[in-house]
Chains A and B, each alone.
Chain A
Amino acid sequence: MTFAVSFQKVSRHFGAVRAVDGVDLDIRPGEFFAMLGPSGSGKTTCLRLIAGFERPTAGHIEIFGARAEAIPPYRRNVNTVFQDYALFPHLNVVDNVAYGLMIKGVPKAARRREAGAALEMVKMPGYGDRRPGQLSGGQRQRVALARALVNRPRVLLLDEPLGALDLKLRENMQEELKTLQKSLGITFVFVTHDQGEALSMADRVAVFNDGRLMQLGTPQEIYGSPNSRFVADFVGSSNVLPPVLVERCAGQRRWASLRPEAVKIGAPGRLSATVVSRAYLGGATRLGLDVEGQRINALVPAGEALPAEGETVRLGFADEDLHLMEPG
């Protein structure tokens, strides 16, 4: 299979700093791919390596089967939606969108037509004569999207595309991006530090930390069975159980993760806990529990009986909900 993007032992070091360190990664054609991680984890550098703004210090990068690490960004059919949108302040909206076509030498009438169509696609028709400075953040984002898509890239890169938008706009945009990606069939690669965004939008998620790829999988795999304490901690609010407790429940002296909604209060419990806190969340209540000095969160769906604070309860869970992590 030819991958849209393929990293083979790719490293990018800046002096002593290992921004990206030996990453192997395959992105499938037509997939909505998320790179998730805290700031400084190497996810943005990976994006910049695909775009061509950075060159790897070691390893190979292929884009649709072609070796790309020495190809300058202007020769890659890959386009980027920048975090700060990077719209050209001296050009109006339609000239911004038509910039790539102008560089390719498309005649003025044709490129204006295509830019207009692209603006329509991102629901910004009629904004062509405005200056970027006259647009809101959400509108700039749409223009940046149109400016990238009008070039018909093989891969579209999005760097924290929704980071600067407020919550409501964000949710709208998430849906729209998803629909757009499905209808265009272009490979989308987007970088985010928001695990909710990654899980809800992506077909597959790559979790980064300290320049290394920690886990790659579907949102279900990442969320349901994190393979390391870092992933468990970073992706959502999973409980991490120390080897002492895990040994007692599962017989193996390993770290393990347990989703809060998998924790069952009462009945055949293997552990005993004290209720430390109760927080009403609407659809459920979050209980803070203390198990021999270890803090564990449990989500109790609305309607179920709730223990009082300070009460001692038994807690249990199905065996398949306890995910043992790889040692080390």
Chain B
Amino acid sequence: MSAVGTIGAAGPSDAILPKRGGWRGRLADLLWRRPGLLLLLMLMPPVLWLAVVYLGSLLALLLQSFFSIDEFSGLIDRSFTLKTYGELLRPANLDIIVRTVTMAALVTLAAAVVAFPIAYFAARYARGKWKALFYLGVMLPLWSSYLVKVYAWKLILAKEGILTWLLQKLHLAWLLDGWLALPVVGGSSLSLSATGTFVVFLYVWLPFMILPLQASLERVPANLLEASADLGATPQQTFRNVVFPLALPGLAAGSIFTFSLTLGDYIIPQIIGTSRLFIGQAVYAHQGTAGNIPLAAAFTVVPIVVMGLYLWGARRMGAFDAL
């Protein structure tokens, strides 16, 4: 207790310290007195940026979907009309929308099936070092270059590429030829078929399904599984009645990503697949060479509306808790 004497030996007048001088002291006091002002100052730059740059652009885009293009002059007629939306319903355009939504749904479904074992293993069995390894094992492909990933598949799916070579070595080339001969899914080679597009979509968006799924599976308490086994359930029954319902929010969250990303992508079907268009490609084509910004804008409204419906449904399943 040697320091006791030096502590607490102050006069009564110093209970309140004097104001600090200078602009710093005044600024600090002002921000203390008006916490709202500080909040406003902090929020202003990001909100202004996002509201002006981003929301402004989005609104401008939406606005243009109500314009139309003059078919003879190719100029944009800036008067309000629903004509452009009407064009969306043309068979050729409807075809594009149906194709894209079907692909998004298939990719989402397949991603869920492939992601589940990885997520389940990482959440329930992987420990310590393995857990970190699994986490990185999903994060690295997620963050690796999108174009490089697509490029890698162009190498794999090429006619002279590794997959054909592998199937030949296994004497299964007839299987590939048979598949490619099928209508819709087939084509002259895998990299020029809808199957190829599907595989690449699945590959590129898979990590976006694994992460939220794993997050929701982490929250399934192990003792719940034991309780189920204790009550005489087989592993299959436990899975169906306990694990799956609890994983559903994560599944829904992951599917938001896979669905939305597939809906909006225009690069993958451009590089790998048939010449049939997806929504993204249609948007790109209409705004670019055709110069039909109104139709391109109307096309972008489709994924927004589809995603809106999807989010509304997912929210009812509690998907946002797992994001």
Contact = CB atoms under 8 A, between A and B. Distances in A.
A149 B16 contact: no
A154 interface: yes
Interface string B193-212: 00000000000000000000
A310 interface: no
Contacts of B13: 64
A65 interface: yes
Determine the interface band of chain A, counting residues with CB < 8 A from chain B: 20 to 34
A71 B32 CA distance: 10
Interface stretch (B1-9, B175-183, B231-239, B255-263): B1-9
Nearest to A155: B15
A120 B7 CA distance: 13
A154 B10 contact: yes
B12 interface: yes
Contact of B15 (A77, A120, A184): A77
Nearest to A78: B15
Interface residues of B, number: 22
A133 interface: no
B222 interface: no
Nearest to B1: A121
A75 interface: yes
A66 B16 contact: yes
Nearest to A118: B3
Contacts of B6: 114, 117
A152 B9 contact: yes
Contacts of B20: 75
Interface in B7-31: 7-10, 12-20, 28-29
Nearest to B6: A117
29 contacts: A2-B12, A63-B15, A64-B15, A64-B16, A65-B12, A65-B15, A66-B15, A66-B16, A70-B33, A74-B17, A74-B28, A75-B16, A75-B19, A77-B10, A77-B16, A77-B17, A117-B3, A120-B2, A120-B3, A121-B1, A149-B8, A152-B7, A152-B9, A154-B10, A154-B12, A154-B14, A155-B15, A183-B1, A184-B4
Given A75-B19, A117-B2, A120-B3, 7 more contacts: A72-B32, A74-B32, A78-B15, A117-B3, A121-B7, A152-B10, A155-B15
The 6 closest A-B pairs by CB, nearest first: A117-B3, A64-B15, A184-B8, A72-B32, A154-B15, A66-B16
Interface of A: 2, 29, 63-66, 68, 70-72, 74-78, 114, 117-118, 120-121, 149-150, 152, 154-155, 183-186
